[in-house]
């Protein structure tokens, strides 16, 4: 066991997989000598060499396509896209190729590629370093989509993703790389060492893909969330003194609707919280699923808290970010007696 | 002897702890490269994409057929523009360190690329810059206070608080909006030029990107469309050797020059000393005339060096020798033009120092004015409701609703 932040946890996952499995390779922009702009791959090229950890040209389409080709030839590539905002030049290769190769070749070809990419805002990154595009991938048949909310899960889920024979788009909420964030930017930063999920085993372990986690059990209502917003939701519910059940989705595809729906069926109230834009966001899928399964148990309409349907503006970061005020309003509304 | 295929990994000549090594650079002596007619066929001028157009020699004299023969007042204006760009950059860099702006990117060592090109172009020409072309705004006369207000995201920010610092635009000055996504502007410039040709305009389009960005598919789309339609466009690869931590070899510079991609597509390719103001000016004149007279696009590779960090989020000491720039064989563009003017008897160290002081005072005064319009954290602040404008021409109902929700959220506090 060691105290690790999310960056170290992810690094440890790749280190272990590079060490255990000679078919694993890591590739991306600045990931080799430099160790990545967020330092997630630090030291890996030195340890495993330039044929296992590759600095690539700045061409996301090329990175994904080359990863697919490598995977078809037996490698297990872990591709880093420097920011999720820069994944779109690779989108065609992901949507038209990576997602469907197994299907169109009747299972004869497949590409076990993991695409890691930092997402989300709260770092003053403006419209091109802040996006949360998970819904664009969750909507595509054939992709697994994962987003951890803490170092323990980050390592376990990344190892599970690399070992998975299906392609995984692995979003890393960069605002919480170094510590949990409860949505209040003016408060001093909290490190992961102060959080139980900052305890990360040294060795190999997995967190299963397709399993949500109940991070707090409660009876008043269910908050369904993921990534950075897990922490914002927890802090808000605590402040309001609500006995909320908080579910960290962790895997958007495949979705653990059993865990989510049995909780809502029991509490009868539900708020969905994510940072991505609201319209046709992943919250819409969650809401529809819950409504279909839990309609007769609901005591209030399901509410969604999300980023506004605008690009992420540099100057209005905290007016954009769905912070505690916006979450609190939804929680209160859902708790009003019918 | 190689008997099997083996994955080749491009070599990076020098890393921290190594001595700077620029032996890989192929240089030509000043004045030796031929200047073809602007109507020359691409296949007759392919060597220009391997050689290096240089005008200023080691004694600060302009030599050879590419000498643009600029007069001294014009050279002094050029020096002023480059120096203002640098003084401005230095100031904003320091301001970022003090926390007043969130981010900054300098063009240190690359000032000649933007300044010489903008001076050699016509005011009607449309510019599609990358984030390291602030000199274009300086030459076209944008008050630097406007640039500062953008960096501050304040009430006079042309981007209304929506963009990171340095992502300027200037419609009247014909400088396009900068995207954070690399290389996207390159094929857009070609499209603009195609429209100019369709409409029968004389104006041309000009775009810039870094050698690292030339790896993106958009670079290749640009070259292909420019070639197919003989678009009146100048496409510039600013090869400053580094793309964050990644050496230019990883963008394909190890095999051939970036300029040499032009002839592959049937486009004129020129390789120029990007730190030689006169050479950059001359190749721009050549390419602009070629484009304007219907002979099509030119790809120009500017050989230069990113003397500063990639951005304020970057620490180059982690990936290149601390003293790397000291070993750079093509010097500093400002020092070189200054040396030339002094050799002409038209400039002196005293005048240079006085000009520097004048520009520093101008930048300081502009900063004072800029912050009077607010900063990211100090009033007056932009109204957050602006975030909902310009998503569409007219605000649709769902955004009106969200705007109202935000107002209520802010009123509740
Ligand atoms: C599509 C895309 N991918 C990645 C990035 C992240 N990024 C920003 S600048 C940069 C390096 C660019 O280097 P280069 O093109 O050589 O220009 P320079 O910064 O050296 O002027 C990278 C990788 C981005 N902004 N957009």
Is residue B8 in a domain? no
Q: What CATH number did the domain enclosing B164 receive?
A: 3.40.50.970
Q: Structure tokens of A185?
A: 């930017």
Same domain, B321 and B396: no
Q: What percent of chain B has pLDDT over 70?
A: 100
* Calpha distance B258→B252 (Å, rounded): 8
How much is the ipTM here? 0.97
pLDDT for the residue A60: 98
Spell out which residues of chain A touch residue B163, defining contact as CB-CB under 8 Å.
126-127, 314
Residue nearest to atom 13 of ligand 1 (CA): B243
What was the pLDDT predicted at B412? 84
| Minimum distance, in Å, between the CA of residue A59 and any CA atom of chain B | 5
Task: Indicate whether B4 belongs to any domain.
Answer: no
Mutate to test the pocket of ligand 1, among A30, A36, A56, A58 (most ligand atoms within 8 A of CB): A58
Residue B309 pLDDT greater than 90, yes or no:
yes
**Is there a domain that residue B36 lies in?**
no
Give dist(CA A215, CA A225) in Å, integer: 10
Is B81 near ligand 1, meaning CB less than 6 Å away? Answer: no
Q: B1 — contact with chain A (CB < 8 Å)?
A: no
Q: Is the CB of B180 under 6 A from ligand 1?
A: yes
Ligand 1 pocket check for B242: Cβ under 6 Å: yes
Say which residue the tokens 């419609």 belong to.
Answer: B171
Cα dihedral B48, B51, B56, B59 sign: negative
Same domain, B387 and B259: no
B258 in a domain, yes or no?
yes
DSSP string of B285-336, one letter each residue = HHHHHHHHTT---EEEEEE----S-SSTT--GGGTS-TTGGGG-TT--HHHH
Minimal Cβ distance to A57: which of B103, B251, B405: B251
Would residue B222 count as lying in a domain?
yes
Q: Hey, what's the torsion of the CAs at B377, B382, B388, B393, to 10 degrees?
A: -140
Instruction: Provide the 8-state DSSP code for A191.
Output: -
Is it the case that residue B133 has pLDDT exceeding 90?
yes
- CB-CB: which of A85, A125, A316 is closest to B384? A316
Name the residues of A annotated as catalytic.
129
C-alpha to C-alpha distance for A197 and A212, rounded to whole angstroms: 15
pLDDT score, position B1: 65
Q: Is there a single domain that holds both residue B296 and residue B401?
A: no
Distance B212 CA to ligand 1 centre (A): 6
Spatial distance between the Cα atoms of B15 and B317, rounded to a whole number of angstroms: 9
Identify the weakest region by mean pLDDT among A38-52, A99-113, B345-359, B399-413.
B399-413
Per-residue pLDDT of chain A (338 residues; tens, 9 = 90+): 789 999 999 999 999 999 999 999 999 999 999 999 999 999 999 999 999 999 999 999 999 999 999 999 999 999 999 999 999 999 999 999 999 999 999 999 999 999 999 999 999 999 999 999 999 999 999 999 999 999 999 999 999 999 999 999 999 999 999 999 999 999 999 999 999 999 999 999 999 999 999 999 999 999 999 999 999 999 999 999 999 999 999 999 999 999 999 999 999 999 999 999 999 999 999 999 999 999 999 999 999 999 999 999 999 999 999 999 999 999 999 999 87
**Pick among A313, A323, A324 to test the B interface (most B CBs inside 10 A):** A313
Specify the long-range contacts of residues B390-394, CB closer than 8 Å, at least 24 apart: B390/B160, B390/B162, B391/A309, B391/A310, B391/A311
Residue of B nearest to A329 (CA): B409
Q: Average the pLDDT over B223-252 and give the result.
A: 98
Segment B108-114 shows an average pLDDT of: 98
Minimum-distance ligand 1 atom for the alpha carbon of B209: 15
- Chain A nearest-CA distance from B387, in A, is 7
Q: Is A91 in the pocket of ligand 1 (CB under 6 A)?
A: no
Number of folded domains in chain B?
2
Phi and psi at residue B242, to the nearest 5°? -130, 140
Q: Are residues B117 and B152 in the same domain?
A: yes
Residue of A nearest to B153 (CA): A315
Nearest residue of A to residue B212, measured between CA atoms: A58
B206 is a domain residue:
yes
Pairing of strands A199-200, B268-273: unpaired
Residues B92 and B220 in one domain: yes
User: How many other β-carbons are positioned within 10 Å of the β-carbon of residue A51?
Assistant: 11
In sequence order, the β-bridge partners of residue B159 are: none
Q: How much is the pLDDT for B62?
A: 98
Give the nearest chain B residue to A50 (CA atoms).
B9
Q: A47 to chain B, minimum CA–CA distance in Å? A: 16
Q: Is A82 touching ligand 1 by the criterion CB < 6 Å? A: yes
Interface of B with A in 170-209 (CB under 8 A): 179-182
Query: Residue B217 is nearest to which of A56, A61, A124, comparing CB atoms?
Result: A61
Q: Are residues B77 and B122 in the same domain?
A: yes
Angle, CA of A283, A85 and A164, to the nearest 5°: 70
CB contact under 8 A, A309 and B391: yes
Dist CA B390 CA B170 (whole Å): 17
Of the candidates A9, A47, A3, the residue with the CA atom closest to the CA atom of residue A204: A9
Q: Which residues of B touch A126 (CB under 8 A)?
A: 162-164, 167, 180
For B160-196, the pLDDT digits (tens) are 999 999 999 999 999 999 999 999 999 999 999 999 9
CA B124 to centroid of ligand 1, rounded, Å = 28
DSSP 8-state code for residue A178: S
The verdict on residue B21 lying in a domain is no
User: How far is the centre of ligand 1, averaged over its atoms, from the C-alpha of A59 (Å)?
Assistant: 10
B184 Cα: distance to centroid of ligand 1 (angstroms)? 11
Which residue range is the domain that position B275 belongs to?
42-382
Q: What residue spans of B211-264 are helical by DSSP H? A: 217-229, 261-264
In A, which residues are within 8 Å of B12 by CB distance?
33
Q: Is the CB of B276 under 6 A from ligand 1?
A: no
pTM above 0.80, yes or no: yes
Considering the domain architecture, whether residues B98 and B175 belong to the same structural domain is answered as: yes
- In A65-217, beta strands by DSSP E: 76-80, 114-119, 144-146, 168-173, 199-200, 213-216
Which of chain B's residues have a Cβ under 8 Å away from the Cβ of A61? 216-217
How many helices (H) and strands (E) are present in chain B, helices listed first?
A: 11, 7
Q: Give the nearest ligand 1 atom to B248 CA.
A: 16
In this structure, are B366 and B388 located in the same domain? no
DSSP state of B53: B
Q: How many angstroms away from the CA of A51 is the closest CA of chain B?
A: 7
Q: Which residues of B touch A28 (CB under 8 A)?
A: none
Q: Please report the DSSP string for B190-210 in residue order.
A: HHHHHHHHHHT-S--EEEEEE
Residue B409 counted as domain residue: yes
pLDDT at A1: 77
In sequence order, what are the beta bridge partners of A77? A25
CB distance A325 to B407 below 8 Å: no
Same domain, B229 and B356: yes
pLDDT of residue B387: 97
**Would the pLDDT of B212 be above 90?**
yes
Question: With a CB-CB cutoff of 8 Å, which residues 323-382 of chain B face chain A?
Answer: 376, 381-382
> Does B296 lie in the same domain as B243?
yes
Q: What is the mean pLDDT of residues B379-402?
A: 97
Nearest CA to ligand 1 atom 3: A86
Distance B244 CA to ligand 1 centre (A): 7
DSSP state of A186: T
Q: What local confidence, expressed as pLDDT, does residue B135 receive?
A: 98
Judged by CB atoms closer than 8 Å, whether chains meet at B251 and A58 is answered as: yes
Average pLDDT over residues B221-233: 98
User: Considering only CA atoms, which residue is closest to atom 8 of ligand 1?
Assistant: B182
User: What's the B182 CA to ligand 1 centre distance in angstroms?
Assistant: 6
Determine whether the interchain pair A57/B213 forms a contact, defined as Cβ–Cβ distance below 8 Å: no
* Residue B297 shares a structural domain with residue B274: yes
Decide: helix, strand or coil at residue B235. Answer: strand
Average pLDDT, chain B: 97
Asked if A138 and A153 touch (Cβ cutoff 8 Å), the reply is no
**φ/ψ of residue B270, rounded to 5:** -120, 140
Q: Is the pLDDT assigned to residue B254 strictly greater than 70?
A: yes
- Does the beta-carbon distance from A320 to B387 stay under 8 Å? yes
Query: Both ends of chain B: CA-CA distance in Å?
Result: 73
Assess whether B166 and B229 both reside in one domain: yes
Which of B132, B244, B249, B274 best tests ligand 1's pocket when mutated (most atoms within 8 Å of CB)?
B244
């Amino acid at each position: 066991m060691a105290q690790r932040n999310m960056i170290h946890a992810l690094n440890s996952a790749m280190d272990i997989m590079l060490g255990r499995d000679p078919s694993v390779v890591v590739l991306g922009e600045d990931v080799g000598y430099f160790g990545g702009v967020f330092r997630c791959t630090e030291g890996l090229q030195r340890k495993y060499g330039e044929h296992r950890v590759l600095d690539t040209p700045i061409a996301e389409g090329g990175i994904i396509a080359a990863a697919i080709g490598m995977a078809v030839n037996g490698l297990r590539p872990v591709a880093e896209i420097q920011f999720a905002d820069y994944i779109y030049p690779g989108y065609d290769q992901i949507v038209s190729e990576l997602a469907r190769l197994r299907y169109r070749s009747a299972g004869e070809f497949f590409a076990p590629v993991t695409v890691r990419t930092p997402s989300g805002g709260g770092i003053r990154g403006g419209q091109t370093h802040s996006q949360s595009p998970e819904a664009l991938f969750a909507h595509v048949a054939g992709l697994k989509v994962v987003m951890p909310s803490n170092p323990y899960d980050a390592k376990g889920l990344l190892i599970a993703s690399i070992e998975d024979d299906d392609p995984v788009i692995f979003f890393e909420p960069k605002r919480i790389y170094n510590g949990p964030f409860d949505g209040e930017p003016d408060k001093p930063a909290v490190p992961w060492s102060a959080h139980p999920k900052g305890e990360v085993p040294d060795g190999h372990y997995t967190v299963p893909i397709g399993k949500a986690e109940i991070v707090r059990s409660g009876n008043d209502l269910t908050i369904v969330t993921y990534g950075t917003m897990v922490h914002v939701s927890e802090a808000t519910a605590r402040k309001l003194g609500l006995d909320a059940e908080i579910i960290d989705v962790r895997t958007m595809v495949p979705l653990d609707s059993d865990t989510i729906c049995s909780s809502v069926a029991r509490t009868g109230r539900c708020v969905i919280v994510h940072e991505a834009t609201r319209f046709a966001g992943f919250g819409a899928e969650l809401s529809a699923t819950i409504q279909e399964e839990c309609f007769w148990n609901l005591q209030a309409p399901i509410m969604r808290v999300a980023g506004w349907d605008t690009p992420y503006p540099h100057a209005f970061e905290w007016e954009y970010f769905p912070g505690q005020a916006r979450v609190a309003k939804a929680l209160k509304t859902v708790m009003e007696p019918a | 002897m190689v008997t099997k295929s083996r994955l080749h990994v491009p070599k990076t000549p020098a890393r921290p702890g190594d001595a700077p090594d620029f032996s890989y650079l192929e240089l030509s002596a000043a004045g030796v490269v031929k200047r073809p007619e602007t109507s020359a066929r691409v296949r007759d001028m392919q060597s220009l994409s391997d050689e290096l157009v240089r005008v200023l020699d080691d004694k600060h004299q302009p030599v050879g057929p590419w000498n643009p023969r600029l007069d001294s007042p014009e050279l002094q204006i050029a020096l002023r523009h480059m120096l203002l760009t640098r003084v401005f950059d230095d100031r904003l860099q320091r301001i970022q360190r003090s926390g007043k702006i969130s981010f900054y990117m300098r063009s240190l060592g690359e000032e000649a690329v933007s300044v010489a090109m903008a001076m050699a172009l016509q005011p009607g020409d449309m510019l599609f810059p990358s984030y390291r072309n602030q000199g274009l705004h300086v030459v076209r006369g944008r008050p630097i206070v406007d640039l500062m207000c953008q960096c501050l995201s304040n009430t006079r920010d042309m981007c209304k608080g929506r963009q990171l610092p340095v992502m300027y635009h200037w419609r009247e000055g014909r400088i396009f909006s900068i995207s954070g996504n690399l290389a996207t502007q390159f094929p857009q410039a070609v499209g603009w030029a195609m429209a100019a040709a369709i409409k029968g305009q004389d104006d041309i389009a000009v775009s810039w990107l870094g050698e690292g960005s030339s790896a993106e598919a958009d670079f290749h789309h640009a070259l292909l469309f420019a070639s197919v339609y003989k678009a009146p466009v100048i496409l510039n690869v600013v090869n400053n050797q580094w793309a964050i931590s990644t050496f230019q070899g990883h963008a394909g510079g190890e095999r051939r020059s970036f300029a040499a991609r032009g002839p592959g597509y049937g486009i004129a390719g020129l390789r120029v000393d990007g730190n030689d103001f006169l050479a950059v000016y001359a190749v721009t004149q050549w390419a602009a005339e070629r484009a304007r007279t219907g002979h099509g696009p030119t790809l120009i590779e500017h050989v230069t060096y990113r003397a500063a960090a990639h951005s304020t989020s970057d620490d180059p000491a982690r990936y290149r020798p601390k003293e790397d720039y000291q070993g750079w064989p093509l010097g500093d563009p400002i020092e070189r033009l200054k040396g030339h003017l002094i050799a002409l008897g038209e400039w002196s160290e005293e005048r240079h120092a006085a000009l520097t002081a004048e520009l520093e005072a101008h930048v300081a005064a502009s900063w004072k004015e800029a912050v009077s319009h607010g900063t990211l954290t100090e009033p007056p602040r932009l109204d957050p409701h602006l975030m909902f404008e310009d998503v569409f021409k007219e605000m649709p109902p769902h955004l009106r609703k969200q705007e109202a929700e935000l107002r209520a959220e802010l009123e509740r506090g």
